[in-house]
Structure 1
Amino acid sequence: MKTINKTFVTIALLTAAILGVSSNAVAQKKVNIKALFWMLPADALPEYLPQSDKQGMESHIIVCDYKNAYLELGGGQFTWEMCYWNLKDGRKLVAVNRNFETGPLLRFFYYENEKLTEDEDYNLFENISIKLEDFIDVSKLNPDIIKKLRKNVESFKYIIYYKLPRKGTSLKLRIDHEAVTEDFKSITYETFKELTIKWVNEKWMKQ
């Protein structure tokens, strides 16, 4: 009888644990992109937002795509957008792409247990090696400039701009065209390309 009781208790505890994990994952999935927007720290938002006025802040939302987990603000000179990816463990990876006159600031947060926590050490390029060919069609270049240009691009001399996905899960990247053409007058805008990095098994990979 004691053995049966112990077995029953063990099964009951395991069932409760499994249900607890499942309900936690379901609860986390219920949060939407706008709810995550309201959870962001003040320094992740543009200065022009009236942060003491929720209705005023809401009026600056020009895209709120719940289905594709994407939100974009308008009313400023530079792009501000956010999105998230669902992780296998029930968490969400939240990205905020905020642009300034000096360039973009891409920040990553994790949503877990109803809290949003920034990962200040998040490395988008952990599994990616940047090459000149990712951003420029070298077949259209003067051979004399390739060596120096390659060094500049692959050492991250030029700012990289990002575009978060509204559809799909991939990020689009491009380098600062104006900075490159200022250094290399012979390069035309038709020479530039976008780099797509794909979200594969919760890692970033070049397409």
Structure 2
Amino acid sequence: MSHRTTGRGRALAGGALALAATLALAGCEGSGPGADEAAKKPDLKVTGAYIPEPTMDDMAAGFLTVTNKGGAADTLTSATSDVAGSVTLHSTKGGAMKEEKSFGVPAGGELRFVSGGNHLMLEKLKRKPKRGEKVAMTLHFRTSDPITIEVPVKEATYSPGEDGGADASHDTHMSHASHAPGASITPGTPGTSNTPHMSHKSH
């Protein structure tokens, strides 16, 4: 009788261990897809943002870099700022500017807004940003949460790097002046002013 009881106890204990091992294995298998899913999400960071002090009262240009260290692409769909009635996205191709609805941010890559290239336009300014102050701007993405940044206002002829990188959070690119509706952009050339002559084509 005692042998039977002992045998049954061992069988039950063995069954419990087998069940625990199965559950543990299932738990490990369940954590895999979750980790993969996290790796496939965008991981965005904004650096190098600045606004050249505008020469016009109603619009200003903005430049920055969005870096994506994640395993999935994202899309910048819009931008907003408390100093502007609207913030529009613009591309520059063949010397002509065009308003765009969005810009892609590739996985493991970056989206750059630079002088003479893609850029942001702060339009219908509620007040004219002054050199030395910071302007709040929020970037909105298709997948990621919005990112709000404080953008420093630089002199109109500012060229990133000329101050020795004193502003470590803003390691940026070339500046450009605000522009008015009308024609096309002519990027600055080496040896000339860092502020290119620019204006808009009608959108």
TM-score range, shorter chain: 0.3 to 0.5
**Structure of higher CA gyration radius:** 2
Whose RCO is larger (CA < 8 A, sep 6+)?
2
Which structure: greater strand fraction?
2
